[in-house]
Every structure is written in structure tokens, then in C-alpha cells.
Structure 1
Amino acid sequence: MTRHDPSTDEPAAAPAAQARALSGAQGPSGGEPSGELGGKPVGAVLHAVRLLQVLADSPGPLGVTAAARQARVNPSTAFQILRTLVRGGLVAFDPALKAYSPGLGLLALSRSLLGRDYTDLLRPELVRLATNHECLFALWRLADERAVLIDRALADTPVRLDIQVTQRIPSLIGAVGRVVAARLALPEDELRRRFSHLRWQTPLSFEDYLREVEEARGCGYGLDLGNLYTGIHSAAAVVCDDRARPFLGISAITLAQSSPPDRLRAMGEELAALCRTASGIPGR
């Protein structure tokens, strides 16, 4: 997407759209046709997932009524689902409290994920997002005031943007940079100092940058409307470790003319939700 200048670690040129004929469309898994996921979802499964999420987020066991209310599930349906999940070991039942909590079976299911690299875990999500939104999605590793591209998924379209893996940019620049700055909560003087070293194709004032950082703090995602690269819009969110420090960024990158503000914000909201799910895992 950019030509890297090793003497500065700054983007050296605007991204170029690569025209290619594509065949063999892939879906979210990388191999399944995207239409496979277009059917009607199974209500009972969705209800079970909601109940498990509610129990996982709760500081203590919950009764059926409380769990059903928070999961927006009919209490009778919730009771039947929770009983089934108890039998499967995914939920534990305390007969004294008549309340439910996550069971050890969930730990067994997640064991295979705990030792895997985040890149492997997020790769299917990148492909799903690129397929659904028909634009480039990039995964960045954040360290030492730099963002390094470690993976990306390309849009399945005849003309598409691309970016070279290992591309390096300052961690406070672009859409990723705005949300990184929001998460780091640097003193204004320090943020101003770092901002003065950033190079934008369409420069913005520090006051505008600071305002957009505050917006990113509020909504959980950052936007870049052609500042980093003229004609290129992007939305981004970050994955934080168990100490709330950002260590990965995910960005949606698209041509300005194909990304009206509402579409870009919708992608930002989806990225923010994904990153919240992936954040805060102990040991990360």
C-alpha cells in the first residue's frame, strides 16, 4: 500500500489500487462460500450464546429470571436452555442459591485457543470483515511507538487496495493512532510533542487531532478521513492486554468515494465490538 522509507519509518507514498481479476470467492472461514452464512440463524443457539455471555460477564451466579432478563430471552426458554447447558457441563448450577454460573466445560472448550497466537485467532475475522464489507482490513502489532502490519485480508473485488506486510508507521498516526492515543491517555504536552513528528499527506491541526482522539475515546474506534493518505478513508480499533494497554490494532481501509461516513462508522463500531471481545485476556 505504501513504499517504506527505512530511514524514517514514515509512509513514503500514497497507496495504489491494484487491479486484479479475482476468482474463487472465499467466505469468512477462508474456504467456505460467503453465501453459506446467509441463512436464518437458529434461535435456540442465539439464546444459548446470549445466556452464556451474560453469565460470563456477571460478577456472581444469576437466577433464571435475572439471566433471562439480561439476555433478553423468555424465562421459560432460558430455564430449559440453562438446564441443557448444565447437563453439557458448560454451566454450573448452585442448588442452594438456585443460581447459574459458567461451568468447567467452557474452560475445556477454550483450552485449544489459549495457547494460540492472536494472529491465528483473528485471521478468520479479518477475512470475514473483508468479505462482508468489500474492503481491505489490516492487523497491526503495536510496540515501541510503532505499528507494524502483521496480517491483512483483501477485498474480493476486481479493483482493491493492498498493503505490504511488515509496513511500519508511527503508532499515533492514522485511524489506529487516534484510538491508540485515546487508550494511552498521554498528558497533552507529551501527545503534542509526538504529534509534531507525525507526517500526514493532508495535515490537520493538533487541536483537530486532539478532538478526534477524544471522539475515539468515547466511541471506541478512530477515523481517518484522508489525512494520512489523500483519498483514503479508514476506521480502526485496538485490542488491549489484561492491563488495558493496546497491543494490536485492526483497521478498515477503503477509497474515499466508496466509504460514506455512515458506512465507515458502522465498520468502526463492528471493529470496536470485535476488539472488546478480544481484549483483556490474562497473560496477553
Structure 2
Amino acid sequence: MSDDMLGRGLRLLTTLSRHPEGLGVSAAARAARLPVSSAHRLLARMTEEGFVVHDPSARTYALGLRALELAHGFHRTPAGFNHLLGPMRQLAERTGLVVIAGILDGDQVLLVRSVQGSQHLQLRSDEGTRNPWHATSLGKALVAARPEADQERLLAGPLPRSAPNTLSDPDELRAELARVRKLGWAEAEEENERGVRSIALCVPAADPDGGPPQLALSLGATVVLTGREELHDMVPLLQTTAREAAAYGR
């Protein structure tokens, strides 16, 4: 397989990962910016290899079990963020809330690890999920730690609204990032999803001179069960967890 075909195949897999319900050939080709004929050949080959499954009745393609093997294999590697699980589980047990780890990828936050809490209302926090940086506490914490030039590039947009409370005005977001830097942590109040509030802060970088932090941790809660001030009171616990996660990663 040529490098070009490999790249096209990977683009198709990435596209399918964002559409768990499956896509038809034409829709997958359009989303991956590929000719339909190329997408059809690649999907057929990846189906043979088990990376994709085909539903003949719905005429759609979705990720297969081999893709799951890749995901589990990644989590077993040094880059798989396994060092976060111990501190995250302890925090989830202590607070009853979901604990999420995320990184900044372009203008989105990618969730890389999550540990559910014990509250009977739990949030959706699937690993691999992407959210707009400006609508999440994770994203605001990470962007606030970036150089000013990076911040301005992200503030230039686009800044889509995910919920009625999403901050989409660059000046408001600029002020919000300044507030995050002053406090040392970020919050999102029903900004990415109705009924959900969260706090987040960065995990200290292993080498403070090596650039800004690349990873952040958050506590997520429903507005029904956890008040805003109650969540704010958990900031010290989140700070302790971030320090422990940094120590585990060294």
C-alpha cells in the first residue's frame, strides 16, 4: 500500500471514529474528502481486515473490533496515560464525580482518560471524545497556559456555541483566560452541555522549561446534584491529584 493510500485509509478510520452510528460510502467519502471509488475500495479492504464492519441492511460502515484492539494497545503504551489512573480513581472515589483527563488537539479538547464516580447521575465522558476548547474547563485551562500568540490564534475562531452559556465572544474569552491564569484553574458552567458544570486545571509539566503543560484534569458534575460553590471547594483535591499525576508520570 502506498503512503497516499495509507493516509487515505487512516483518514477514513478517523472519520468513522467520529460517527459511531456508521456511515454510508458516499457520506464517509465526503467527510474524509476522498473520491467515492477510493473510499469504497478502502472500506472493503478494511472490512476484510476487521478494522471496519459493514451492515448490509443499513448499507453503512462502522469501526470494527480490530480498531478496539488498537485503542487498548495504545493505552498499554507509555504514551497511553496509564500513570493517571491511580490518582484519578482516588479522586473519583473521594468526590463521587467523574474525573476526566484531556489534551489540546488543534482547537479541540481530546478526552484521553476518564474515571466514573459513584453519583447515580453520571456524565458521558467517553475516551476519544472531542469538544470545542472554549466550551470546556479542560480547554480553557490548557489554552490559558499557552503563549499569547497561540491564544490569539485560537481566539480568532471559529468559536461555535455548544450550549446557550458558551462563551463565543473573543473579548469575553480573553478575559476568561486571564481569570483562569489568576486563579490557577478553570470552570465551565453549562457551557458545553446543559445541566453540566466542571472545573479543571493543568497537570504540571515534567520539565517546567520544556513548554506549557500538555495535559489537564477536570471534575465534572451535574447541576442537579452538585452546587457551584461545592464544586469550587473541590479545587484543592483536584490540585493534589494533578501533582500526584505529574509525579507518577516522571
Common fold by TM > 0.5: yes
Residue 238 (structure 1) aligned to one of 202, 206, 212: 202
Q: How many residues align?
A: 174
Taking the aligned partners of 1:234 and 1:139, their CA distance within structure 2 comes to 12
DSSP 3-state at the match of 1:138:
strand
**1:260 match:** 227
In terms of fraction of residues, the more helix-rich structure is 2
Superposition deviation, residue 235 in structure 1: 0.5
Superposition deviation, residue 264 in structure 1: 1.6
DSSP 3-state at the match of 2:214:
strand
Q: How is 1:171-250 mapped onto 2 (pairs within 5 angstroms)?
A: 171-187=133-149, 189-194=152-157, 196-202=158-164, 203-204=166-167, 205-241=169-205, 242=207, 243-250=210-217
Taking the aligned partners of 2:115 and 2:204, their CA distance within structure 1 comes to 21
Taking the aligned partners of 1:4 and 1:199, their CA distance within structure 2 comes to 19
Larger Cα-atom Rg:
1
Give unpaired runs (5+ residues) of structure 2.
Answer: 1-16, 21-30, 33-76
The sequence identity of aligned pairs, in percent, is 18
Is 1:145–1:170's contact at 8 Å kept on the other side of the alignment? yes
Give unpaired runs (5+ residues) of structure 1.
Answer: 9-114
Is 2:91–2:238's contact at 8 Å kept on the other side of the alignment? no
Residue 131 (structure 2) aligned to one of 141, 158, 169: 169
Matched, 1:154 2:116: yes
User: For each residue in 1:39-76, what CA deviation from the matched residue of structure 2 results, as whole angstroms up to 9, or x when unmatched?
Assistant: xxxxxxxxxxxxxxxxxxxxxxxxxxxxxxxxxxxxxx
Residue 132 (structure 1) aligned to one of 77, 94, 114: 94
Check 1:270–1:157 CA distance in 2 against 1; reply closer, same or farther (3 A cut). closer
DSSP 3-state at the match of 2:220:
strand
DSSP 3-state at the match of 2:234:
helix
Taking the aligned partners of 1:281 and 1:172, their CA distance within structure 2 comes to 29
| TM-score, length basis structure 1 | 0.52
| TM-score, length basis structure 2 | 0.59
Is 1:220–1:272's contact at 8 Å kept on the other side of the alignment? no
Taking the aligned partners of 2:103 and 2:138, their CA distance within structure 1 comes to 11
DSSP 3-state at the match of 2:84:
helix
